[in-house]
Amino acid sequence: MLADTWFEILPAVVRAPDVVFVPRAAWRPELDPKHALKVVPALMVEVLASSDPELSRKIALESSARPARTPRDLSKRLRQYLEAGVLQVWVLDPDEGEADVYAAGSLRTLTTKDRLEAPAILPGFSVSVARLFE
Amino acid sequence: MLATKTLHSVEDMERTPKPEAGGGYELDEGELIYLSPNSMEQWEIIHRCYHLLQNSMEAHTRAG
């Protein structure tokens, strides 16, 4: 389980998801968390929040970087995750109290009445969506 | 007129100093993008999710 780590999931595509799960079998000893890891996680989690548009613009001007966390950015990010071979992506939306579960060819939206599970990736994991947003 | 993009390598991105205001960078098809810092609410959810997953994995490992 990792957080705040870079993953080079596709050529010239490096992402830093909020939480990821890399199965032990996929981990290789030469992977160095100080650098972008060339490994595709089985699960990636992104937590939505409103970004600070003023700060994003300021930093973007200083560094010639493009601001992220726009709806377009999220859509592209999800496409890249699934194209790279990530099995499941959870997008947690605290404003709506919902968890969107993306997998190849499917999307399920869970509410606070549902349980979040991923038996093929994390056998035994089961948590109510409400627990995530408490 | 079309805007031109400056393309960066993974090494360029890793060498880019962290923004003083917080947040960090990613690379999207060679384009450097800026992620603003997570809010306190986001961090709480990230930590909760991380620990719930971690605890579940540990319980699963113990159960063999």
The CATH number of whichever domain residue A118 belongs to comes to 3.90.1570.10
A89: β partners: A44, A102
- B50–chain A nearest CA distance, Å: 6
In a domain, residue A83? The reply is yes
DSSP-assigned states of every residue in A34-77: TS-B----SEEEEE-----HHHHHHHHHHHTPEE--SHHHHHHH
Average pLDDT over residues B8-24: 91
The parent domain of residue A18 ranges over 7-132
Distance CA B45, CA B38 (A): 10
Residue B6 predicted with pLDDT over 70: yes
pLDDT at B49: 95
pLDDT at A3: 61
In a domain, residue A56? The reply is yes
Question: Terminus-to-terminus CA distance in chain A, angstroms?
Answer: 22
In a domain, residue A2? The reply is no
Residue B45 predicted with pLDDT over 70: yes
pLDDT in tens, A48-66: 975 566 666 666 667 667 7
Mean pLDDT of chain B: 88
Distance CA B46, CA A14 (A): 20
Q: What is the number of structural domains in chain A? A: 1
Q: In a 10 Å sphere around its CB, with 0-12 CB exposed, 13-18 middle and 19+ buried, how is residue B61 labelled?
A: exposed
Mean pLDDT of chain A: 88
Say what the ipTM of the complex is: 0.89
Closest CA in chain A for residue B63: A124
Distance CA B48, CA A94 (A): 13
pLDDT at B61: 79
**Mutation choice for B interface testing from A7, A15, A18, A122 by most B CBs within 10 A:** A18
Q: With a CB-CB cutoff of 8 Å, which residues 72-131 of chain A face chain B?
A: 73, 76, 80, 90, 92, 94, 122-127, 131
Instruction: Give the predicted TM-score (pTM) of the model.
Output: 0.88
* Percent of residues, chain A, with pLDDT higher than 70: 81
Closest CA to A40 of A95, A89, A91, A81: A81
In a domain, residue A117? The reply is yes
Average pLDDT over residues B4-18: 90
In a domain, residue A1? The reply is no
